[in-house]
Amino acid sequence: MFTGIVTALGDLVKVERRDGLIRWTVDAPYCAADMAIGCSIAHAGVCLTVVEAESRGPAHARYVVELAPETLQATSLARLQAGDRINLERALRLGDELGGHLVAGHVDAVGQVRSVAQDGEGWRLEIDAPAALRGLIAPKGSVAVDGVSLTVNTVQGDQFGVLLIPHTWGVTTLSRLRPGDPVNLEADLFARYVAQILDARAARG
């Protein structure tokens, strides 16, 4: 589990294909001694498993994760190339502060940025979401966009808007988004479960 609070920006060092999988080599300002093989790290909102890790300094780790074809098809990660930066978040530990909202790291759908505009000292993003997410995104609710926990400000049809404060704009990759860019979307877990309960009740009549 994650909280949607980005803890670091990673650098994608290498992208290679091996045994039908895509292997990413990532540099991050993490301590390699705290990264057990098999641990989970969210990459742009996608939970991936560390299969190799080495220390490059006191607070510098280089590690490898593997991406299955299904992951690439269901997310926006296929567009990333060596040299790109990625929003990273270590898995939530028992007792950690829940600063955002509960995020599973399982992308529900890929949305598309409609517009990016400055709004006072912050920035407003308008995003087109697939119709399947319409009932899961509501004003004042939570949504993870490329792994960043955000509060939904407006909803109109399949489009929703979020407002980013300067801090979030400065410490995540969301500041690099442009109209037309794809983004990984994960709806709030509670919204998903409520929707499933209502659908089940409706099916029973």
Per-residue model confidence as pLDDT tens for the chain (205 residues): 899 999 999 999 999 998 889 999 999 999 999 899 999 999 999 999 999 999 998 899 999 999 999 999 999 999 999 999 999 999 987 767 677 788 989 999 999 999 999 999 999 999 999 988 888 898 999 999 999 999 999 999 999 999 999 999 999 999 999 999 999 999 987 766 666 665 667 677 6
CATH number at residue 182: 2.40.30.20
Q: Indicate if 81 and 115 belong to the same structural domain.
A: no
Q: Which pLDDT tens digit goes with each residue over 155-172? A: 999 999 999 999 999 999
Answer yes or no: are the C-beta atoms of 165 and 122 closer than 8 Å.
yes
Q: Is residue 84 one of the residues assigned to a domain?
A: yes
H-type alpha helices, the chain: 69-74, 166-171, 189-204
Answer yes or no: are the C-beta atoms of 182 and 110 closer than 8 Å.
yes
Q: Indicate if 113 and 198 belong to the same structural domain.
A: yes
Q: Which pLDDT tens digit goes with each residue over 52-78? A: 999 998 899 999 999 999 999 999 999
Q: Indicate if 59 and 113 belong to the same structural domain.
A: no
Compute the chain's Rg from CA coordinates.
Answer: 17
Q: Indicate if 115 and 182 belong to the same structural domain.
A: yes
What is the residue range of 33's domain?
A: 8-90
Phi, psi of 168 (to 5 degrees): -65, -40
What's the CA gap between 151 and 137, in Å, rounded? 10
Q: Report the domain count for the chain.
A: 2
Q: Indicate if 71 and 121 belong to the same structural domain.
A: no
